[in-house]
């Protein structure tokens, strides 16, 4: 239930967030897609922690391919 809510919230963000915000990610996959993958692989708590760490790294000079 919580996992489904977390994934739904991320997918909602992907639909409604402005392009300039969504296209600002320096990594591949994007931070929101990374969060979805991390939650599916590690569960809600660990996946969200990994996603927050990733968002924190999403700035210069970091970037490139980064999988959970």
- What pTM was estimated for this model as a whole? 0.90
Interatomic CA distance for residues 62 and 59, integer angstroms? 6
* pLDDT on residue 29: 93
Minimal CA–CA distance to 67: which of 39, 40, 28? 28
pLDDT tens track for 5-54: 999 999 999 999 998 888 888 899 999 999 999 999 999 999 999 999 99
Q: What pLDDT does 63 receive? A: 87
pLDDT of res. 47: 96
- Cα separation, 63 vs 25, whole angstroms: 8
Residue 46's nearest CA partner among 58, 54, 38 is 38
Q: Tell me, what's the pLDDT at 43?
A: 96
Q: Tell me: pLDDT of 67 over 90.
A: no
CB 42 within 8 A of CB 48: no
């Amino acid at each position: 239930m919580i996992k489904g809510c977390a994934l739904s919230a991320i997918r909602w963000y992907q639909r409604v967030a402005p392009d300039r915000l969504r296209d600002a990610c320096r990594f591949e996959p994007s931070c929101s897609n990374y969060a979805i993958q991390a939650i599916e692989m590690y569960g809600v708590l660990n996946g969200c922690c990994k996603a927050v760490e990733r968002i924190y790294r999403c700035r210069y000079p970091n970037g490139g391919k980064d999988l959970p």
